[in-house]
Amino acid sequence: MTYDLVVLGAGPGGFDAAVAAAGHGLKVALVEKGFLGGTCLNRGCIPTKLWLGATSAIDELHNQARMKVASGEVKVDFPALQGRVAKHLAGTRKAMAMQLGKLGVELVEGFGRLAGEGAVEVETTDGIKTPDGVRTLKCANIVIATGSRPIFFPGLEPDGKCVLDSDMFLAMETMPASLIVVGAGFIGLEMAQVAHRFGARVTVIDAMDRVAPLEDPEISKALQSTFKRWKWDVLLEKRVSGVRTVDDQGELTMDTGEKYTADIILVAVGRGPVTDGLGLDSVGIKTPMRRIEVDEHLRAAPGIHAVGDVNGIIQLAHAASHQGHYVAALVAGKTDAPYDSGPVPSVLYGAPEVMRVGRMENEVHLADEECEVSLAQLAANPMAQAHAATQGFVKVIWAKGRVAGVTAVGHDVSRLTTPATMIVRQGWTAHDLHSIVFPHPSLDESLLAALQAERIPVE
């Protein structure tokens, strides 16, 4: 049998590509060496959100207590929470497997690699063994969606004892009383927030001069101000030379020789594409920058596409899914247009939250397009007031009179993400602001307020 499509990797990009392709009537095999759902479901976004959700009462109580409106205590049972996470993930994987079955997608469990044009070899782990344990899938098209894994600089490798990567951190059985996070990106900051809610003393270290360095500098500043209020130690422009476990404690050494210790050190300095052993050479795909380069159709070689983290375009689950849907349509002959994601939003969950979509102030400025910025403070919003969480703002970036980007920090601002993505995608002008009625009261009105606020030219 020849498959229309073989997909390597069942994370958001690969799974959605397989499901969408089957929906288009293609005969599809999905190869996965680990769990359905990939990093996002099993070792990333989802467990972290379950942690944040389970502890949100702690944050809400804290805010109201600061206003002397509420008192009391919320205790979250971490082992019970981990049990619930495990159950949720297993349930989700089961639902995904059922969906594949219903659509006639064949799930091949094992490690897949390209074996020349039109063939994928799988070292199977699902019991369907050939004499040499390898099964060959003939196919017209291949989608590589093998994702990413944590990367480490020399000396920063996790040891699985007191020095952990994010995978290990999510698998912990107890929450540490003290935590050092190396790397102040979204992954580290979400995990640090959870530890904070469990009462941990938190230290965040980054080599850059601000936390969340991919964001607008004012966003970083707002986050830092919150972390300061929480009495976190935020150490910036610091270089770490080594981390190790000494006497059941994590010990971190700066390049200055300074040492810090904590129960757990989480190293979250970034993630890199997974391309090892994929047999890319067999089809002439090179990975000079470790990632699989793709063209405007997300094609890496004739009949071979790469979606998600592995192509290095953007490391976000929803970007991978969107690419997966596109490639499925492309392979099925439903489209031949180049890939166009539109603006891809990113979100930091927790409290405060951060959202960003489209182009930021410094980017549009560089492009010299008559840029303006308008801004609204969350303090003026009644929903932020209701949750006693009034720090933060919404910022709109305009280019040539059109909304080019939106970013926000503060209570529940993730809810601005989808409307802001639509507004940026559609390039709203001032005339569009009253084209829809925003509900009142709502945090969404802070977006409207920012859109309506006085625009300041970017110099």
Residues 6+ apart with CB under 8 A from 140: 2, 3, 4, 5, 118, 303
Interface residue with a copy of itself among 5, 8, 21, 81 (CB under 8 A) is 81
Q: Which is nearer to a copy of itself, 229 or 440 (CB)?
A: 440
Interactions with a copy of itself, residue window 425-444 (CB under 8 A): 425, 434-442, 444
Would you count residue 46 as binding a copy of itself (CB under 8 A)?
yes
The Cα 358–Cα 356 span in angstroms is 7
3-class SS at 5? Answer: strand
Residue 256 or 435 having the CB closest to a copy of itself: 435
Among 27, 88, 93, 238, binds a copy of itself (CB under 8 A): 88
Instruction: Pick between residue 105 and residue 267 the one whose CB is nearest to a copy of itself.
Output: 105
Q: What's the rounded Cα separation, in Å, for the pair 165 and 269?
A: 9
Judged by CB, which is closer to a copy of itself: 113, or 359?
359
The residue whose two tokens read 């899914």 is 321
**Residue 431 annotated in active site:** no
Residue 199 interacts with a copy of itself (CB under 8 A)? Answer: no
Asked if 219 and 407 touch (Cβ cutoff 8 Å), the reply is: yes
Q: Which residue has the tokens 């953007």?
A: 314
Count of residues engaged in binding a copy of itself, rule: CB under 8 A: 73
Q: Are strands 371-377 and 456-457 parallel, antiparallel or unpaired?
A: antiparallel
Tokens 């095999």, located at residue: 29
Binding status of residue 61 toward a copy of itself by CB under 8 A:
yes
By CB under 8 A, residue 391 contacts a copy of itself = no
Binding of residue 84 to a copy of itself (CB under 8 A):
yes
d(CA 78, CA 172): 9
DSSP state of 351: S
How many Å apart are CA 362 and CA 368, to the nearest integer? 10
Q: How far is the CB of 114 from a copy of itself (least distance, A)?
A: 28
Q: Which of 325, 387, 431, 440 is catalytic?
A: 440
Q: Residues 1 to 40: which contact a copy of itself by CB under 8 A?
A: 12, 40
Q: x/- binding map, residues 207-236, to a copy of itself, per CB under 8 A?
A: ------------------------------
Q: Which stretch binds a copy of itself (CB under 8 A): 77-85, 223-231, 276-284, 393-401?
A: 77-85
- Which of 197, 305, 395, 415 is in the footprint of a copy of itself by CB under 8 A? 415
Q: Indicate which single residue of 213, 270, 279, 419 sits in contact with a copy of itself (rule: CB under 8 A).
A: 419
Tokens of 450: 């920012």
Residues between 304 and 363 with contacts to a copy of itself, criterion CB under 8 A: 316-319, 321-322, 325-326, 341-347, 355
Neighbours of 198 (CB within 10 A): 19
**Surface-to-core class of residue 385, CB atoms within 10 Å of its CB (0-12 exposed, 13-18 middle, 19+ buried):** middle
- How remote is the C-alpha of 286 from its chain's centroid? 26
CA-wise closest residue to 169 among 196, 149, 188, 148: 188
Instruction: Pick between residue 224 and residue 323 the one whose CB is nearest to a copy of itself.
Output: 323
> Least CB distance from residue 193 to a copy of itself, whole Å?
14
Residues taking part in catalysis: 440
